[in-house]
Structure 1
Amino acid sequence: MNIDKKITNQFNSLLTHVRNSSNNVNCTGSSVMVIHKNKMVIEKYWGKHSKAPTARLIQEDSQFHVASVRKSYIGFAVAYAVHHGFVKSIDDEVTKYLPMKTSESLQYTSIRHLLTHTHGLMETANGTIVREFLSGENWAYRNIGVNLLTQIVKNTTGKTVAQILNEQVFHPLELNETGWHGEYNDKLVEVIRDSDRHWSSHKSEDGDKMNMYVSTRDLAYWGYIHLKQGEIKGKQLIDKELLRLATSLQSPKLIHDDLPQNGFLWFVKDLPAKKTEIGALVPQGSYQILGYTNVAVLVIPKYDTVAVRMFNSFGSPPGNDYLADIRSFGDTVMKCLGEG
């Protein structure tokens, strides 16, 4: 990570918040990291990789299963396809790029709808695609949209999501603790489930499955790359317009104001919305992505700040208000910054 370190006490209350959250979910290890004004100002790790007595301690190179945080990387791959002209417009219908998909349910569904969870599609147990609501008129978090996006990326660019990220980001910026894994190794942190079994793995390493693992420092740097719009220490390493496209508001104008707002799968803070996952104190123009393992990365351009928290829990137990907790995470960051 090409970030200078200057640890301060400014974000101690955020550390307390993350520790308290870790006690409220079924996890064995956690971490928190904040980059503020181009300095790493907090970096803490605690716990172990699993419940095993000999489990490895959580440390700098521990890679957590990031679950739906992977969508921010898929969003980058789609932005890459748009920026380089492989996809002409995100308002093009999905069927233009997936001609083999003949389901009538896909009609009038655009790439914009897939990116902003406003597509209205569902997938049944037998793989049939059905419609839940008209595209662009509501919001629902369904993985079918992400699955279609990964297919569009491959069909249009001739590359997988993983190939694009490896070529454009991971290798040139040396994010060596980020990737999709088909097999476990000792750097990977187990996901703790109620049954004490770890998360079932996928063999595909193409970036199309939920088997992505990232270290805390790599995830913070991923947020930092977006914060700086690809310019790191005076060098434009990733195209600014591509990153701007991925993190700017793309939600259709027809959806209700209180529904979540999205860029290229990132959650974007625009107007106040009752169902947003981003805290009330977090300013307009910020964006966040989070996963079912309670992992989250929050980017606040107005305050030149990236905040990351990592857990290895499988969801939240009954009685733990997940949305309230993640909103409070962002609000606590803002209080550390002297706001609220």
Structure 2
Amino acid sequence: MNVTLNKDAFKDLTLYTEEVRRDMNASGSALVIMKDNKIVHEWYSGRHHYEQGAIQINSNSRFNVYSVRVTYIGFAIALAIYEGLLNLDDKLSDYLDEYNKDTLGDATIRHLLTRCTGLKFENRTVYRVSDLGTTIEGKRPEILAKILYKATGRTVNEVLSNRVFKPLNWTNTGWVTEGNKNLVCDIDMLKNYPTLRIGSNIGDERNLYVSARELAFWGNLHLNKGIFENRSILPQEIFELITTVQSPNALPHQLPKFGFLWWVKDGEVSVDYNELGSELPAGSYQILGASGCSCTVIPEYNAVAVRMYNSLNAYEKLGFDYIKDIQMFDNLVISNLKNL
């Protein structure tokens, strides 16, 4: 991967990234900007936690990306659809035998991927809380992982490892089952000690740890529709599915639109909960995680912006405004890209 650093062009963005690290009490941060398939800016700051002996953040440091992981699960679903093992408009009731079929109703994989099922899942019970396709709800990647396994016999991790991570030699991406020196601890504002989230390697839990570089490569793989370092790794049709709006046409126009869990810039939305910066061009797409990690893909500029933090519950403890922050970050990315 070519690296052509331009620190001066991204001075404002770097200063802002550091300011936010302090504001949300993160012990570490990372920033990687790619343009035209090159890393044009890279910044690492702080340590893996606040305790004595903590390692400095570096290019191999792996952050828990939390909800950013849903884009990896979305990829696995898209691959299954491309292979003819799933259909975007298959009903959830065709795969989820443990839930009441009448309550699931006409909800489909499309509704689940675009966060508008109107359903609430609790253990083995499902409730309808709003009409189908009328509101935006939280992400349910573990339900998608169940559907994937039922349809293909493969876990999310198996799909990603075999089709992406191993072929591209990404060694700093994966669901973590045990500790290692490259893992960045979470600084949970509701606890008095650093934590690591260890789980299974199925790919349905919140234990995906990724380095800033490899998250940028993930975004760049989408930007180039399956081409990585001049090699065609995967069919472009998969990425066209993933990164274009898949929200049902009946969804109220003022609500945000999604591809395969990526938030896609598609016109103006009139709800307060809008994660996309006003300066992002149409067709840009983004994902944000609870720790402050994010990946923003900007096709109009042929660019990817990734930033990493390790702070949890900063809103509850400090009143930190995640939405205002990510909007400001996006707008600074665009402003700084114009300096190149």
TM-score, with length taken from structure 2: 0.94
Q: Is 1:64–1:311's contact at 8 Å kept on the other side of the alignment?
A: yes
Q: Is 2:216–2:305's contact at 8 Å kept on the other side of the alignment?
A: yes
Q: Which residue of 1 aligns with 2:135?
A: 138
Structure 1: state its 5+ residue gaps: none
Q: Which amino acid aligns with 2:130?
A: F
Q: Which moved more, 1:129-138 or 1:297-306?
A: 129-138
Q: Which residue of 2 aligns with 1:270?
A: 266
Q: Which residue of 2 aligns with 1:285?
A: 283
Given candidates 241, 247, 250, the residue that maps to 1:254 is: 250
Give the Å deviation of 1:37. 1.8
- Tell me how far apart the structure 2 counterparts of residues 43 and 138 of structure 1 sit (CA, whole Å): 38
Q: Which residue of 2 aligns with 1:321?
A: 321
Q: Which residue of 1 aligns with 2:103?
A: 105
C-alpha RMSD of matched pairs (Å): 1.6
Given candidates 300, 311, 317, the residue that maps to 1:302 is: 300
Name the SS for the 1:4 alignment partner.
coil
- Tell me how far apart the structure 2 counterparts of residues 103 and 204 of structure 1 sit (CA, whole Å): 29
What do residues 58-92 of structure 1 show as CA deviations (whole Å, max 9, x unaligned)? 111000000000001001001011010000x2111
- Tell me how far apart the structure 2 counterparts of residues 218 and 197 of structure 1 sit (CA, whole Å): 27
Q: How does 1:10-159 map to 2 (within 5 A)?
A: 10-87=9-86, 89-124=87-122, 127-141=124-138, 143=139, 145-159=140-154
Q: Is 2:266–2:282's contact at 8 Å kept on the other side of the alignment?
A: yes
What do residues 17-56 of structure 1 show as CA deviations (whole Å, max 9, x unaligned)? 1111111102100010100122211111010101111111
Q: Is 2:91–2:109's contact at 8 Å kept on the other side of the alignment?
A: yes
Give the Å deviation of 1:9. 1.7
- Tell me how far apart the structure 2 counterparts of residues 168 and 292 of structure 1 sit (CA, whole Å): 27
Q: Which moved more, 1:225-234 or 1:152-161?
A: 225-234
Give the Å deviation of 1:190. 0.4
What do residues 207-233 of structure 1 show as CA deviations (whole Å, max 9, x unaligned)? 010111000111011011111111134
Q: Which amino acid aligns with 2:141?
A: V
Structure 2: state its 5+ residue gaps: none
Question: Is 2:233 the counterpart of 1:237?
Answer: yes
Given candidates 158, 161, 168, the residue that maps to 2:163 is: 168
Q: Is 1:294–1:315's contact at 8 Å kept on the other side of the alignment?
A: no
- Tell me how far apart the structure 2 counterparts of residues 270 and 243 of structure 1 sit (CA, whole Å): 17
Give the Å deviation of 1:109. 0.8
- Tell me how far apart the structure 2 counterparts of residues 288 and 3 of structure 1 sit (CA, whole Å): 23
Q: Is 1:103–1:129's contact at 8 Å kept on the other side of the alignment?
A: no
Q: Which residue of 2 aligns with 1:337?
A: 337
Q: Is 2:280–2:331's contact at 8 Å kept on the other side of the alignment?
A: yes
TM-score, with length taken from structure 1: 0.94
Q: Is 2:185–2:196's contact at 8 Å kept on the other side of the alignment?
A: no
- Tell me how far apart the structure 2 counterparts of residues 182 and 215 of structure 1 sit (CA, whole Å): 16
- Tell me how far apart the structure 2 counterparts of residues 82 and 235 of structure 1 sit (CA, whole Å): 23
- Tell me how far apart the structure 2 counterparts of residues 36 and 216 of structure 1 sit (CA, whole Å): 15
- Tell me how far apart the structure 1 counterparts of residues 210 and 304 of structure 2 sit (CA, whole Å): 16
Q: Is 1:26–1:193's contact at 8 Å kept on the other side of the alignment?
A: no
Q: Which amino acid aligns with 1:12?
A: K
- Tell me how far apart the structure 2 counterparts of residues 232 and 5 of structure 1 sit (CA, whole Å): 17
Distance 1:201 1:321, change over 3 A: closer
**Percent identical:** 37
Give the Å deviation of 1:103. 4.4
- Tell me how far apart the structure 2 counterparts of residues 164 and 103 of structure 1 sit (CA, whole Å): 28
- Tell me how far apart the structure 2 counterparts of residues 239 and 258 of structure 1 sit (CA, whole Å): 32
- Tell me how far apart the structure 1 counterparts of residues 19 and 221 of structure 2 sit (CA, whole Å): 29
Q: Which residue of 1 aligns with 2:213?
A: 217
Q: Which amino acid aligns with 1:60?
A: S
Given candidates 223, 228, 231, the residue that maps to 1:227 is: 223
Give the Å deviation of 1:202. 4.3
What do residues 235-289 of structure 1 show as CA deviations (whole Å, max 9, x unaligned)? 2112111011111101112222222211001111111113321101100110001
- Tell me how far apart the structure 2 counterparts of residues 160 and 38 of structure 1 sit (CA, whole Å): 30
Q: Is 1:279–1:330's contact at 8 Å kept on the other side of the alignment?
A: yes
Distance 1:253 1:316, change over 3 A: farther
Q: Which moved more, 1:91-100 or 1:270-279?
A: 91-100
Q: Is 1:223–1:299's contact at 8 Å kept on the other side of the alignment?
A: yes
- Tell me how far apart the structure 1 counterparts of residues 125 and 96 of structure 2 sit (CA, whole Å): 15
Query: Aligned pair count?
Result: 334
Q: Which moved more, 1:56-65 or 1:201-210?
A: 201-210
